[in-house]
Amino acid sequence: MRIVGGSARGRKLYIPEASQVRPTAERIKEALFNILGPVDGKSFLDLFAGTGNVGLEALSRGAARAVFVENDRILAGAIGRNAASCRFAREAEILRADFGKALGMMAERPDSFDIVFADPPYEAGFVGQVVAVLADGCLMAADGILVIQHSVREAAASERPGLVMTDQRGYGDTRLSFFQKKYARTNAS
């Protein structure tokens, strides 16, 4: 596994030997960033980050910062090692916590993210939870983008008020579902 574009292009990433991680394939990662377009200066949240593969790709392509959420101690350590190897230690923040706890901690901060990428364990029921929490919360910037990588056998969560599905793409057994944050506009009197 390696970084496929940007300033760290070609850099190999460390994957712990005993891990059960399912890294995002290079061709899917390339397609993802082609769809997203330029990420220069954007803030990036990588949920269920594994080894940090996708968030580090965002940093390599010019994202200003990335927050990585990973519950597994060994994988969180791998993210730190990979960030240092790619020279992104300053731009990378690692939260070692489960998805719900991490989002609760971040909700107390003034952060919002331009792009949120989530790659939860396949067919484990997290897709709907991710959509619900991000639709209802303030972690996404206005017009922010959420991308969920999931199994084609797992339905993408339905739209919710404030979060609209804009695209879906399939790659073998994997699907990328794209959502955009939309705030209701009110008429001031």
Question: Per-domain residue ranges for the chain?
Answer: 26-181
In the predicted structure, residue 169 carries a pLDDT above the cut 70: yes
Token pair of 53 as six digits: 């593969």
Contacts of 40 (CB under 8 A, 6+ apart): 61, 62, 63
> Alpha-carbon distance 126 to 150, whole Å?
9
The total of other beta-carbon atoms located within 10 Å of residue 14's CB is: 15
Q: Are 23 and 44 in contact (CB under 8 A)?
A: no
> Alpha-carbon distance 186 to 15, whole Å?
48
For the segment 109-156, what is each residue's pLDDT rounded down to a tens digit?
Answer: 888 999 999 999 888 888 888 888 888 778 899 889 999 999 998 877
> Alpha-carbon distance 135 to 163, whole Å?
5
Which of 8-12, 56-60, 98-102 is predicted with the least confidence, judged by mean pLDDT?
Answer: 98-102
Please give the pLDDT value at position 180: 93
Count of alpha carbons within 13 angstroms of residue 154, beta-carbon side: 21
Taking alpha carbons only, the member of 140, 115, 149, 104 closest to residue 44 is: 115
Please give the pLDDT value at position 189: 38
Percentage of residues of the chain with pLDDT beyond 90: 60
Mean pLDDT of the chain: 89
Q: In 3-state terms, the chain is what percent helix, strand and coil (to 5)?
A: 30, 30, 45
For the segment 68-112, what is each residue's pLDDT rounded down to a tens digit?
Answer: 999 999 999 999 999 999 999 999 999 999 988 888 888 888 889
Please give the pLDDT value at position 15: 92
Residues in the chain: 189
Taking alpha carbons only, the member of 69, 66, 74 closest to residue 15 is: 74
Please give the pLDDT value at position 188: 46
Please give the pLDDT value at position 187: 46
Token pair of 172 as six digits: 């073998």
In the predicted structure, residue 171 carries a pLDDT above the cut 90: yes
> Alpha-carbon distance 110 to 132, whole Å?
20
In the predicted structure, residue 64 carries a pLDDT above the cut 80: yes
The total of other beta-carbon atoms located within 10 Å of residue 47's CB is: 26
CATH of domain 26-181: 3.40.50.150
